[in-house]
Structure 1
Amino acid sequence: MSDQDQQMDATNRFISLANELKDGGVPVHVISWSMLTAGAVYSTFSVAGNTGGLNPSGVDKVVDSFRDCMNQVQEARKAELSAAGAELENEQP
């Protein structure tokens, strides 16, 4: 399985777990911030291991990567919404 396929599978598993937590009564904003915190902890681990931390330039690199990812997700969402709107406009009454 390619890295991209593994990333998509892991992403879908995280979203599934988030939905389970939501369905179990955990507020969405709590889940979102928890995922951000977990991402920060694991990003630090992936670069520095258990014995180190990121210096300010390392933090900036991670933040820039998150910003790029967020922008990609927003562009994809806009495209999905635009396509869905176009489909609705093309439907016959």
Structure 2
Amino acid sequence: DTPSRDEQILSMIDEFVAVANRLKDEGNDTDLVNAAFMLASGNYATFLAAGNQGYLKEDGIRKIAEAYKHNLTLLQDLKKAQFNPDGKN
């Protein structure tokens, strides 16, 4: 039984959050942990788009920012369904 793509993603999210929580529990400020994760994610996205020796031009930055916005919107829709299943305020 191979996990679905969504199941794999959710499992990886749990791992990333566990690392973030460990860093927080070690005394790091949550804003610092968040900034580091965002920059690490941006670094990895840049690597995927441009390789180790490359960087993003304005159009590449825009495309990745749009992907982040799309994924953040999907996450918020999931959270809304989880915490507000009846659609009430």
TM-score by length of 1: 0.79
Structure 2 segments unaligned to the other structure (5+ residues): none
Q: Which segments of structure 1 move beyond 3 Å, counting only runs of 4 or more?
A: 1-6
What's the C-alpha RMSD, in Å, of the aligned pairs?
Answer: 2.1
Sequence identity, in percent? Answer: 27
TM-score by length of 2: 0.82
Hey, what's the Cα distance between the residues in 2 that align with 1:19 and 1:82? 25
1:31 aligns with 2:30: no
| Aligned pair partner of 1:11 in 4, 8, 13 | 13
- Code of the residue aligned with 1:40 in structure 2: it is G
Match of 1:81 in 2: 83
Helix, strand or coil: the match of 1:14?
Answer: helix
Aligned residues: 86
Structure 1 segments unaligned to the other structure (5+ residues): 87-93
Larger Rg: 1
